[in-house]
Structure 1
Amino acid sequence: MKATTRFIISLIWYGMIGLAVAASFGVDVSSVILGSAFASVIIGLAAQTVLSNVLAGLALLISKPVKIGDRVTIATWQFGSVFPTYPPKFFSQDILINGFTGSILEIKLMYTFISDDENAVLAIPNNIILSSSRFRTYRDKIVTTVRFPVKNMDVDSAKMKAKKAVERCPMVVEHKILIDEVYQDSYVLKIIALCKGNRQEVCRSEILESMLKEFSNSAT
């Protein structure tokens, strides 16, 4: 950031010196300024995307809405929210944010680099970062939601078993267990857990595995 500021100041300073030298040799400075302004307009129109990315990069570096290491979801206006469906094919009340999710590796003038959950590095133009909605999560913790269908068991017993199963998961820091859906012969437990790390699928897998073991023991 300091190097960029010094470069801009130096550019302006040398430009002023150049105009002063040209004026000392009798050059019509007003014509030079007018020609430079016209050329700047043409170049600006031709390089609008580049300039918007650079200006957005400066804004990101100054205002710091996100920082290196933050886990974020970048959702642009082109993509709306979507409702997911989960087995056993009931309609979920959750909303998924459709966008790019990952951890910020580096913020430069033109691009912000984000590492996704597959360790692929995404280079997102800074004007998209600046104009998008940014959803930031904990750096070292993430909230995970797990649904688990239950049949032929009273609610209190099921919640007790779910509590034992979740408390056995090393990744889970805090949790709560709710009744999410009720059907004629079954219901769905909803576990909302605050987990260590920033990978939802890893924590969800750990909770589901523990739940399956706990409930399969009761069935045998």
Structure 2
Amino acid sequence: MDVYQLKRASAAHAAAILSIPLWQHAAKSACIVVASLAVAVTVSRFLIVNSGKLEAGEELTWMASVDDQEKQSSKSWLRHAVESALIALDRPAGFLVPVGAAVVSIKAVSSFLDALLVHQTENAFLGKWATKLAYRTLTTLAAAEFVVYEVSQVAIIAFGVWTALRFKDRMVKVIMDVSALKDQKKGIVLQSTDNTMERVVLPFSGLASWVLILGGCLATLQVLGINIQPLLTVGGVSGIVVGLSAQSVMSNMISGINLFISRPFVVGDRIEISSVGGSKFVVGTVERVDPMRTIIRTDSCMPITIPNKVLSEQIISNESRIARTKVIVNFNKPRQMQFTFLVRYEDFSKVEAICTDMKDHLLNTEGIHRQLPMWVGFTGVEGNACNVYTILHTTPAMSRDFGGFRQGLFFKLEQIIASHGAKLAYPTHVNILPQMGKTIGDGNSKSNGSNGASAMPSLQAR
């Protein structure tokens, strides 16, 4: 637009302002300011009162009365959504409505000052100091107009993200409480680790929170005029600096996303975290999984916060999933057991009878599979003992108590060996220690035949 067009537009703007009396401009601006403040107060008061009533009357807890539980669980999901929206709007609206009222009021005042200066130019009814004050005020408001616009845009984004997060959390609570009340009505009592609804809804709720926050941050950067593409590359020096400074944050966020996708645990699971070396790190129940960290509540009710990057490098044992596995059938299959008893050399003549009695015992023992290979026998001499080798298979039922069955079998077979007067072998070493006599006369260390101090070896068994 050239200078002529600017002058023409300015002249048209001044003509439009002069066509309306100044008192009407003042009344219009005053009405806008009063109306914006009244709307802000009314909306804030309405949300505070109604959200307070809803929060006070919707207690879906085990301590609520039966009538209250029936009333809440019988509500339609549309009504739950409307009530959740009102509760979600409470605090965000308390932040946005005053900001919006302030922005509208500033624009109304700026418009009035503009009209005042135009009329002053035409009629010159103000003094110098009043004209100067109005001009400086209008200049300041005009300079701040861009900042006010950006602040209002950021406030709208914050309002939307905040409201969406509160609405999501509220609906998740409603879903969990209604599900718990229905289970209670059916007489079902669930442990925290068996609540399927909780295990499914809470992870998706956490993912939705991450998406909303990330989207709000990107939208804010876009409103502020910041190009986010260089932040996603490492092509320049700025990208490298940003990448290095955000390395720890991004590592924790990526590890958090990986934990959500792989799902080695969810909220409510009891886990044991160990280092690669095998030492226990933390034992407790997962309380919350955040984008940056995971909170675990120990048996002493102590909350432990672990960065997701550290957690992804540890060994995680999930006690809550012992009974929930697709390979549980493997614990109902026959399991092989093989071992070797070491019998002393001096009991070699008793080995044959020992093998016979051990085989008879295995044939008469419940829990040993008769249709799978079973053998007991002497396999030779090795090291310092006679080897009695045994192989057998447990029945599917006994496989579920494999450790206890194996222990009892070991004790019984050792009793059979002892009943024949035999013993288990153990390593034996012979140490020969020289006994040096005292040297008489010259004080040297050589033995002297005349003093009877000759070196005599002694045997010591160990």
Q: Select the structure of larger CA radius of gyration.
A: 2
Q: TM-score, normalised by structure 2?
A: 0.26
Q: TM-score, normalised by structure 1?
A: 0.47
Q: Does 1 or 2 have the higher relative contact order (CA < 8 Å, sep 6+)?
A: 1
